[in-house]
Chains A and B, each alone.
Chain A
Amino acid sequence: MLGQEFRAGLSLPIKTPPRTKAGIIDLITEEAAITAAPGEELRVEMAVSEGALVAQGAPLARLRGHPQIAFVAPMAGRVASITLRPGHRLGEIVLFREADGGRFRHDRAAASSGRDEVAVRALMQQAGLWSALRSRPFGHMPRADEKPAAIFVMAVDTRPHAPDPSEALKGKEEAFARGLDALTGFTEGPVFVCQSRGANVLSDASNGRLRIVTTGERHPQGLAGFQIHAHFPAGLKAPVWDIHAEEVAALGALLASGHLPETRLVSIAGAALSESRLVRCQPGADLRGLSYGAVRPGNHILLSGSALDGHEARWLAPRDRQSTVLPRHGQRRRGHWFGAALSRAARPLPIIPTAALEQAFGAALPAAAMTRALASGDDETAVRLGALSLLEEDLALADYVTAAEPRLSTMLQGILARVAAEEG
């Protein structure tokens, strides 16, 4: 039974060339931008204007309703352009690198012990670390005063060619422990640390509220959604947060020194590359800069995220730690109009319950019942089966496997939006 749980999931044949011999490269791109995560609406008030010189970690914009939550500069540089969409919604704030901007030091005096929850919360919000947290149901940045029922620290990532979080934590063990300690102050519930077998991110749960979850190697076991579904389902009254382990280490470093770490570990992979890379770059890095010199000749697509759940983008999205470069196939041969009409008339296309479908859901829930509930817009059943713990990215594998049309992840988004609207 236990063995079966570890074996659940799929290993995917997604091609990428071998990694460079150089190991992990430090690569700060000349341009970087802060953007909103796909699907997230952030109404902001600008704190700087175009042309201003900013330090790394200095606030660029603040949330309109909650000015204590800031979005900070990913590197020292000059504000090149600010794009806001209607309603003051954050589009992108682009920076050009200028090393003499320096580093911004946040006032950590009140929070440095890590014990005072209110001070830690305020520090995270003003230092731009708040957006590293993600709250379920609905998957947005938590409200300023939200109390989670549990927190999941993801020290595992099974997405194809994702960087290994335990690699990112090497040398930062102390900061990670400090951050984890501060994180436990946010909740009265448990804090789960998910790690893969053999990775000793955390060996003993000395703190009584820390729980270690060991996951298997196959996708989607390393996604926060399925771990939350298995160990502490999120509910409307009991939000569950998840955060990447590297961001926990960043919190620890912030508490210790007042400085935000300058880089994160990012992997660049994909079939259109001549070599895969593992780099340390700033958040919001320019994807073209990251893959520069490693792309094969020809048309290609740059994705922020993995080949499964990535979005075509220019900048690394806020919570993403990988970029995928895929060849862009010339104009898809247009099928016959009759075939197109037939397949459009049959949407949503029926999905046959096979073993592949079940494994795409990590064998964690009744997959056929879930896909049926999603396709028919049966919100109640989907919620009963655990839709509130899941997000778009969790169904990306099922979308890939079944070639569902319309995508299951899109339909899940619709259900979550309806539930959110009902809740007001």
Chain B
Amino acid sequence: MIRGIWDRETVALLLLAAIMPMALTFLWFGGSGAIGRLALALIVAGLWHLIFMLARAQPPSFAGAIAALAVAMLVPEELGMLQLALGISFGSVMAELVFGGWGRNVVNPATVTLAFLGFSFPAAPWPELVLPIAWAAIPAALIGVGFGVMSGRIVGGAVLAGVFALAFGVEPGPVLPAAGVVLVLLVCDPVASAATGGGRWLNGLLYGGLVVLFMLAWKTAAPVQIAVSAALFSSLAAPLLDEAAIGLWLARRRRRHG
């Protein structure tokens, strides 16, 4: 008879609140350039949400603002306004809106935007994240996990993979902060990541493992590029990981109950 509050927009607002520490640090250290990029990303993404609302009756979502923020923080530098607008449009439309909006998409629109721009304009240098943003990722993850909108298992899996790599003597260098920021901004998106307990551990492990692998084998890549590529691949693998976890769960149940 009574209704609760955990609908899509509540989750989106809580996610937005969780990444606020990172957003504020980014704006504080990024100056006017950061504000400009964020404004552009918000306007383009908002425009597409508006178009899909009018043409396809899809309610717009605050999740668009989260994607815009992630794009503004991680997008390659020295791109023109047109190129940026093109990339954000592609990610927002093809990765989110054509599926029916946030909650029905497969891959995070920000991840697709970043990968698209990275592949299309390989000459554009990837940003160097200032260290305070990476520190701000820690409270962001804590808030997200505390409210239950991000999964502690994904974070745990990624950290576990990192610890393994450290134990085997891998030197993380500048990749570690970038990987942390991308983990919170892109990988922990509850829609685009795995949704079962086991699948989430695997998702985190896979992301961490891919980051380590790229770091060791892909010498020419920038830290953010490594992290974004790992996020893209682990997000694409998420349904498979879920399927595996469910298969395992069903097999265990079959053994117990016949």
On whether the two chains bind one another, the answer is yes
Neighbouring B residues of A353 by C-beta, 8 Å: 190-191, 195
- Residues A351 and B103 in contact, CB atoms below 8 Å apart: yes
B-chain residues with CB within 8 Å of residue A308 when the two chains form the complex: 1-2
Chain B residues contacting A349 (CB-CB under 8 Å) are: 7-8, 103
Q: Provided the pairs A345-B57, A384-B250 are in contact, do residues A366 and B7 lie with their beta carbons within 8 angstroms?
A: no
Distance between Cα atoms of A353 and B195 in the complex (Å): 6
Q: Which of A79-87, A109-117, A354-362 faces chain B? A: A354-362
Interface string of B245-258 (1 = CB under 8 A from A): 11001100100010
Number of interface residues of B (CB under 8 A): 34
Interface residue ranges, A against B (CB under 8 Å): 14, 232-233, 301, 303, 307-308, 310, 312, 324, 326, 341-343, 345-346, 349-357, 365-369, 384-385, 399-403
Would you give the shortest CB distance from A369 to chain B, in whole angstroms?
6
Can you name the residue of chain A whose Cβ is closest to the Cβ of B57? A345
> Once the chains bind, are A342 and B59 in contact (CB under 8 Å)?
yes
A354-B148 in contact given A345-B57, A368-B195 (Cβ < 8 Å): yes
A356 with B103: in contact, given A307-B1, A345-B57, A400-B4 (CB under 8 Å)? no
A357 and B2 within 8 A (CB):
no
Residues of A within 8 A of B190 (CB): 352-354
A400-B3 contact given A350-B8, A351-B103, A352-B191, CB 8 Å threshold: yes
- Closest chain B CB from A354 CB (angstroms): 5
On whether A357 and B1 interact (CB within 8 A), knowing A342-B59, A366-B245, the answer reads: no
Interface residues of B (CB under 8 A from A): 1-8, 11-12, 53, 57-59, 100-104, 148-149, 151, 190-191, 195-197, 242, 245-246, 249-250, 253, 257
Known A-B contacts A233-B257, A343-B59, A403-B4; A366 and B11 likewise in contact (beta carbons under 8 Å): no
Q: Knowing A232-B257, A356-B6 are in contact, say whether A301-B1 is a contact too (CB < 8 A).
A: yes
CB A320 to nearest CB in B, in angstroms, measures 13
Question: Which of B103, B245, B257 sits near A350, CB closer than 8 Å?
Answer: B103
Contact B101 A346 (CB under 8 A): yes
Residue in B1, B57, B102, B148 with the greatest tally of chain A CB atoms within 10 Å: B1
Smallest beta-carbon distance B64→chain A, Å: 14
Are B57 and A366 in contact, with the CB atoms below 8 A?
A: no
Q: Report the minimum CB–CB distance from A186 to chain B (whole Å).
A: 20
